[in-house]
Amino acid sequence: MGKDSRRVLVVGGSFSGLCVARALKSDFQVTIVDAKEYFEYTPGVLRAYVKPRHLDALTFNLQPVIETKMGCKYIWGEVKKIDGAERTASIKPIFGQDAETIAFDYCVICAGCNFGPFHKWGESLWFPTIHEEGRANGSWPHLDERFLEGRRRHILEEYGRLHALNERSASVLVVGAGFIGVEWVTELQHFFPNMKLTIIDFLPKCLGPLPDKAAVYCDSYMKKVGIATHYNIKYAPKEPAFWAGIGLPNGVDKEYVCIGVKASNYFMPAETLSDKGPGGGGWILMDMSLAVTDKQGKKWGADDKGFGRVYAVGDCNYGCVESPGKPLDEWTLPPVAKISYPGEEQAVIACSNIRQVDKIVYQGLEAKIQDMHWPWGAGMFATSLGPHDACFVAGASWKKNSGILTLWGAASAVQKEIIEASKVDECQYGLIGRLFWHFVHHTPVHLFGKGPRFGYAH
């Protein structure tokens, strides 16, 4: 198998997209397409809004990393359509008026998701507005976040608003006490201490399904620093009783909604997208090999031998393989959290299957297709409480209140800083980051979790 043989198109320069490119670049022609010119470390972007210079530590331009360091190709443009049968993608380049057609032998979709479930296009502060339809109908049309400078300008504008709110000791409501909500309200408290902060959630505690000890730790921290917490509260901003119930009868000066995720797979045909799921559905359906399927479970865009050629990994996919009529514990693949580790683990498995299919179809060799599993790392959650405190949960699963609070306080805050710096370095193709994280997804022996005992076939 030579590098001049088969073409792999990677949709999205995300954690998992760059992971795919690193894994396949030595044996395939790999092209990454992304609608923005830069990588952004999403788990750290909250800090950038309260400390704008932190954005520099979270971002880098994709082109020099992908083309110079990694030896792959990069297209700055938006994927408008993927044709599985023809194995082509329609891509609108950043400076082009018309879409261009790119052919591929394999495609790995790593397009991620958005974070505004109540907005038609999933618009939020936490992910740049980069899709054509979203930009045209968005709340900040004067900014083009496909450019790093546009993203920087947006963060500076919001920082200015926060500074003004702090100057007049404004009241701020954060809706949703999950990871994003808790991190956001504690960042606001640390950097803008004059604000009067309140956080609410529909559930009876913060951090949703995580263990009680983690929820108690975070709730205690928020109360200690003067953040008002209210749980078992339905968000109903048009009802006076709602505001009275949280001790704010006159409302607030600013609201931030930090609830859930929303799919942004606009380029995929309807038959490949779920009718349900977070944010109302629209997630890419896949089988246990991570090949894209239609709603009947048939591989979409399969070759004449029935092998999948289009794969979906990370936050863009449905995140589970249901077993109708069975309880959650007995599903073929129970729901996987939309965080970075499972996406990268899925990327490793998808790359393994591409190699296996290539051996069978083009080399006439025997090979085994790998099944996805519920990855042990999907149960690791690090939640910041401002820059000097945090808590870390390991061993969580799809079961509510599972996992163990393993680290907290300043030590956990340092841990999260190390994770952030090393992950950005790895994605930037830095040696230290790659050495640091390589064996996390390439352990030769799996002692726990549901992966294969002796790793994946390559």
What does the pLDDT look like over 308-317, one tens digit per residue? 999 999 999 9
Q: Report how far residue 293's alpha carbon sits from residue 311's, in angstroms, rounded to the nearest whole number.
A: 9
Pairing state between β 171-175 and 254-257: parallel
- Provide the pLDDT for residue 133: 85
- Pairwise CA distance, residues 159 & 275, whole Å: 37
Res 56: pLDDT: 97
Both tokens assigned to 128: 């740049």
Interval 206-218: pLDDT, tens: 998 889 999 999 9
* Rounded to 5°, angle at Cα 54 from 157 and 118: 55
| pLDDT score of 453 more than 70 | no
Q: How far apart are CA 372 and CA 290, in angstroms?
A: 7
Query: Would you state the pLDDT for residue 1?
Result: 44
Query: What is the average per-residue pLDDT within 63-73?
Result: 97
Average pLDDT over residues 153-176: 98
| 7-117+262-373, CATH topology level | FAD/NAD(P)-binding domain (3.50.50)
Q: Is the pLDDT of residue 14 over 70?
A: yes
Sign of torsion over alpha carbons 113, 117, 122, 124: negative
Structure-block tokens of residue 88: 């082509």
pLDDT (tens digit per residue) in 108-147 = 999 999 998 888 889 999 999 999 988 888 899 999 999 9
Q: Could you say which DSSP state residue 329 is in?
A: G
Average pLDDT across the chain, whole number: 93
The average pLDDT across 240-261 equals: 95
Read off the pTM.
0.94
In order, the DSSP letters of 331-373 are SSB----SSHHHHHHHHHHHHHHHHHHHHHHHH-----PPPP-
For the chain, the straight-line distance linking the first and the last C-alpha, in angstroms and rounded, comes to 13
* Torsion from C-alpha of 142, 137, 129, 54, nearest 10 degrees: 50
pLDDT band at 447 (very low <50, low <70, confident <90, very high): low
Per-residue pLDDT band at 379 (split at 50, 70, 90):
confident
User: Can you name the residues that pair with 9 across neighbouring β-strands?
Assistant: 31, 107
Pairing of the two strands 310-312 and 254-257: unpaired
